[in-house]
Amino acid sequence: DSSMMPTFLASTLAAERLKVVLSGDGGDEVFAGYTKHLIEYFKGRLGPVPAPALAGLRRLLRHLPKSRGGRATDFVRKAEKTARSFGGDQAQSYLEMMKLADTAFVSDLLTQPVGFGAVADQVLSAYRHPEGASPLQRTQYTDAIVPLADDMLTKVDRMSMLASLE
């Protein structure tokens, strides 16, 4: 996890004066605080988007500049990610929301293929598990099962304990 070292450093600093602290990790996942949760909520309300409209939007967005550097380019980046998540199987659509970049784009950048199969299978399995749940509920459940349990909370627990902090 990219925030492992900052978490350890913050824990070490806190341990100089404290023995127990609370972290904020997990709050956004549990209380649906990310853009992906809002998108999943509206996907559940809007229903299917016509395939030709999605294809045209995806083509347009693919050719526009994207980055986190400015409001307009960040909006395009988020819009492209959102457009990738519409259409097809709900679980597969959610997996597209979790990706940092389009798999085909990443493959074009690399000289050797990289497999995302094991993580993708875990995400898809978790997303499909809660029977009768809304897309938003499935998203929250998957967040709790996959990134929270297997990454974020483990990272905070291990790094704080390494600094002798509870």
Q: What is the 3-state secondary structure (H, E, C) of the chain?
A: CCCHHHHHHHHHHHHCCCCCCCCCCCHHHHCCCCHHHHHHHHHHHHCCCCHHHHHHHHHHHHCCCCCCCCHHHHHHHHHHHHHHHCCCCHHHHHHHHHCCCCHHHHHHHCCCCCCCHHHHHHHHHHHHCCCCCCHHHHHHHHHHHHHHHHHHHHHHHHHHHHCCCC
Residue range 118-142: mean pLDDT, rounded: 87
Note whether 139 and 36 are within 8 A (CB).
yes
Among 6-15, 37-46, 48-57, 63-72, top mean pLDDT goes to 6-15
User: pLDDT category, 166, cuts 50, 70, 90?
Assistant: very high
User: pLDDT category, 103, cuts 50, 70, 90?
Assistant: low
Determine the pLDDT at residue 140: 92
* More confident call, 15 vs 136: 15
Residue 100 has pLDDT above 70, yes or no: no
Residue 111 has pLDDT above 80, yes or no: no
CA distances from 148 to 4, 84, 110, 127, 156 (A): 14, 23, 28, 14, 10
Per-residue pLDDT tens for 52-89? 888 888 889 888 888 888 888 888 888 887 787 777 67
Determine the pLDDT at residue 97: 74
Supply the pTM of this predicted model. 0.72
Determine the pLDDT at residue 108: 75
Please state the length of the chain: 166
Residue range 2-27: mean pLDDT, rounded: 93
